[in-house]
Each structure stands twice: as C-alpha cells, then as structure tokens.
Structure 1
Amino acid sequence: MNGKIFEPNQELKDFVKCYWTLDFPREETPQMNTIIPDGTMKLIFHYGDLYWHHPENGDSFLQPRCFLIGQLTRPYIVEPAGDTGTFVVRFHPNGFLPFATIPLKEMENTPIPLKQLYGKNGQALEENILSANTTTERISIVEKFLLDRLTDMKTIDKIVKSIVDTILTADGQISVADISKENHIHRRQLVRKFSSAIGLSPKQLSKTIRLQSALKKLLTEKTLKLTDLAYENEYYDQSHFIKDFREFTGFSPKEFYGDHLKMSLIFDKEN
C-alpha cells in the first residue's frame, strides 16, 4: 500500500491543505472502506479503477472518475472496483469557496462530476490529470487550474477563517456560544457565514473535528479506555461520545476499532 502527501505552493496554502496519492492493488484493501467526515472538501481523480459508493439509503453506484466530494455529515462507504490509483486535492474547511460554482450546501454528502462544476474547463482538467504520468505533473496541472480561477482574494472571510483556526486548535472542544461571544458576532449571523463559506454550521464542524481528534487517539493509544477518551475530548459522558461516534462512523467505538479505523484514516492521511 502506497500513500504519499504533498504540500501546495505558497499562493494556494490558504485554500489547499495538501495533495495526496493512493496507489495499491485491490487485494491490499478491505472490501468496504468507511470514509469519516473530516470537515474538508476534496477534488478526487481516479487514474486507477473506479470506486463503488454504497449509500445507507438507496442503490449503490459507481462514482465518477473525477469529482468533488462535498462536505460529509455521515459515514461514506466505498468499495474499490479494482486497483486503486487516486490523486486527491484536500482543501481547508473554508478553502473551496473561491472555486465553487454552486452553493456548498447543495453538494453535501454528494460526488459532483467536474463537468457539472466547471463545464468544458472541468472536462479539460479531467483529461489533463488523467493523461499525466507523474504526481508532479498532476499537481502542476491542478494548481494552474485553481490559480486561474482565484481572481478575488476577498472571498476569504477573515472572521470565518479565524474561527475555523480556533476550532481546529481546540480540537473541536469549544461551544458555538463561546465562539459567538469571543468574536462579537450573533449566532445566527455566524451560522449563515459558515453555511456559505464551509457548507457546515459551526456546531457541525466542531463535532466533526472533535470526533477526528478521538479517532487519532484510538489509533495511537492502544490501551486507552473509552471512558477516558470521552472525557479527554470533553463529551458529557460515554453515551454522548458513543452517540456522536456512531453518527459519524456508523459503528460503536468497539465495533470500529479494528480494520475500519485503519482504513478510514488512510483516506484522511493529513489530519
């Protein structure tokens, strides 16, 4: 299994968190993979075989070869149809807005084909990425595409960016009321700003980041008790922790601890 992470250039650092590639044969990955919400949107290019998506309610379908995945608010189950070869552009929580062509909320839990997002330009981007021979070439192609679309730096909402940084630094352990008070902004106004710039409410982003923090500890601290983990991440009690855990992963912590955890974090290499 081969996964590698790459940094964006300086001009895109405020928008793109990282690039990563995944390359491995079908037999080296579990049949079903759980992608856990992480508060970010991603452009995904499959230069290998495609992936099936298995919705909780609805029929399974093959994902597009190249697409944007909107903000996830629930576990996203995928299954490789063959060998994996994937190039991913991972944006900061508030980083995709300058490149959006439709409201972010309309893309929630949904793969959006590049042609639907960008028309002929999206189709050309897809063809160029898929015909590239190296990751360096793919990064160069996608960065030129993004920089050509980055015409107005005013799309960065400094209040939203500051609050996102606060939520990330606190591992999601901060209330919306405290955020509103500290930033002198009414709660409803804050929710509207987040919905527009991120596609999630402040509460949803905080819950997501807090759960991701707990997942990391599950992975790195093998003897950690669930009760201790719940209190370390400032859940009211263990039942509250289990409820949120099941909402985002589809499993209880004990059910999820084995292969599901390891595979989910492969799809979120840079936390």
Structure 2
Amino acid sequence: MLYRTRKPSPILVPWVEAFWHVQLDAGPIPKRETILPNGKIEMIFAIDGNYTVVNRQTNRMKQSWLSGIQHEPLHISYHGRSNLIGIRFHPNGLFPFLNLPVSETVNVVEPLNEIIGKVYDELFESIYQATSTERIFSNLDQFLVKSMDHSKVKQIKLMMEITRYLKTHPEQSISLLADKLGVSQRHLGRVCHDHLGMTPKLLARIFRFEKSFSHLYSQSDEEDFRSLIDLGFYDQSHFIKEFKRFSGMTPEEY
C-alpha cells in the first residue's frame, strides 16, 4: 500500500487538515470495512476503485463523493485495485466552499457532482490528467482557494476555538464553553449549526467517543472507572450506551 499526505497552503489551514493519496490492491474478494465517527469530513476522488456504501441511501460510489461528518458507523465494501485522492476537512471546513447548508452533508455520503455542480467535471479532469501526486495536490489546493467564499470566513476564529475546545475537552458542558468564549449558548448553537451542521453537544459526544478507545485497553478496574469519569461518563452503563450509539456494537463486540 502507498499512502502520502500534504498540508494545504496557509490560507486553507483553518479549513483543511490535509490532502492524501492512497493506492492499494484488496484482491478480488470483496472486503467490508467499518468507519467509525471521528468528526472528519472527506472529499474523495476515485481514479480507480470499486466502492459501495452498505448502510446509507447512496449505494455505488462513482468517481468521487463527499462523506460529511458521520455520527453513526459507516459500512463500506470494496475490492480490487484502488487509487484514491482525498481532501480531509476539519469539522468546520466545508462552510466557505458550499452553496448549500452544511447540515445537508451530515451523516450522508453523496456523489460530489451533486454537491459542487458544474465545476465538478473540470476538477475531476484536472486530477485524472495530472502527471504526479504533487500536481494533483496543487490542483486541489488551487481549486479550494479559488472556490472559497470570503464572506463566510468572518467567524473563523470563533469556530477554531470551538472545535479545538470540544476536541480537547469533550466532557465539559456547553454552557461552560459559551462562558469561556464570552458568547450566549444560543449564539454558540447558531454558529455551530451554520458551520458544522450539528449542535456543539453532538460534536463533543463524537470526540468523546474517539477518546474513549483508550478506556478499552485500560489495565485495571480502578483505572477503568477513573478514565470513564474523566471523560464525563456517569458509569460503565453510560459508556456502553454511548459506545453502541456511535459504533453500532458494544465494547465487548468491538
């Protein structure tokens, strides 16, 4: 397997985590993979590959697709050779590049041409015809810079503070976050709805779910209980309920 990444240009850093390229051969027998909620947004271009979403309304994924923030497990099936190019966005990263509400991208996987419209063909052709991975990354970078709606970046500092805090302190209350930022909970909720397509509480729960994986490998009952409390779980049953909510399975099944 080949895997490469590159950081975006500085102007895109608040929105884009990385560009990536992966090549692999999964063989002729279909493989099934479960992608768990992680707060990431992926825009994926399949130069080569056979991918199917098992548990969403979208079925066969052709050429390219957008996977928004997922708050349920995503099951995909694939086989054969894959040559995939991707843009990994921060949780708030889609807002300045879309002409539709971000909420319409949450928990869905949609064909990219239906999301970005008439510029899609030109974008995909620039990727397909590029002679190197670096050229592809540069083309994607230029496309995003050109597509950015600068009238939508006014709240970027606030959104960066929100997502950073939710990721590092997912156990804290939203009221405490609002107080720290000096805004009302209503304003906080409205900004998150516009930029994330979801409530700050739901994103915090997704981040807490991610952090809870270390709990699965704790070495003692005492350490086990302490880590649960530190993450804001009331008890073991609360943790199991949340784990199943986001993964579709119990910790034991995982």
Tell me the TM-score normalised to structure 1 length.
0.83
Once the 2 structures are TM-superposed, how far is the Cα of residue 173 of structure 1 from its aligned partner? 2.1
Change over 3 Å in CA distance of 1:163–1:123 after alignment to 2: same
2:253 equivalent among 243, 252, 255: 255
Q: Runs of at least 4 residues of structure 1 off by over 6 A?
A: none
Cα distance in structure 1, aligned partners of 2:8 and 2:151? 17
SS across alignment from 2:80: coil
Change over 3 Å in CA distance of 1:120–1:222 after alignment to 2: same
After superposition, the CA RMSD in angstroms is 2.4
| Matched-pair contact (CA < 8 Å) for 1:210–1:233 | yes
Cα distance in structure 1, aligned partners of 2:167 and 2:144? 25
Task: Decide which structure has greater strand share.
Answer: 2
Percent identity between matched residues is 27
Could you say which residue in structure 2 is the equivalent of 1:260?
none
Tell me the TM-score normalised to structure 2 length.
0.88
Tell me the alpha carbon deviations over residues 141-164 of structure 1, each in whole angstroms, 9 at most, x when there is no partner.
111100111241652413222121
Could you say which residue in structure 1 is the equivalent of 2:182?
184
| Matched-pair contact (CA < 8 Å) for 1:50–1:65 | no
> Is residue 101 of structure 1 aligned with residue 99 of structure 2?
yes
Identify unmatched segments of 5+ residues in structure 2: none
Identify unmatched segments of 5+ residues in structure 1: 257-271
Once the 2 structures are TM-superposed, how far is the Cα of residue 64 of structure 1 from its aligned partner? 2.9
Could you say which residue in structure 1 is the equivalent of 2:135?
137
Cα distance in structure 1, aligned partners of 2:108 and 2:187? 26
Once the 2 structures are TM-superposed, how far is the Cα of residue 12 of structure 1 from its aligned partner? 1.2
| Matched-pair contact (CA < 8 Å) for 2:28–2:80 | no
Question: Counterpart of 1:5 in structure 2: which amino acid?
Answer: T
| Matched-pair contact (CA < 8 Å) for 2:31–2:79 | no
| Matched-pair contact (CA < 8 Å) for 1:49–1:81 | yes
Cα distance in structure 2, aligned partners of 1:134 and 1:13? 23
Could you say which residue in structure 2 is the equivalent of 1:245?
243
> Is residue 112 of structure 1 aligned with residue 117 of structure 2?
no
2:145 equivalent among 130, 135, 147: 147
SS across alignment from 2:49: coil
Once the 2 structures are TM-superposed, how far is the Cα of residue 73 of structure 1 from its aligned partner? 1.3
**How many residues are paired up?**
251
Question: Counterpart of 2:96 in structure 1: which amino acid?
Answer: P
Q: Which has more radius of gyration?
A: 2
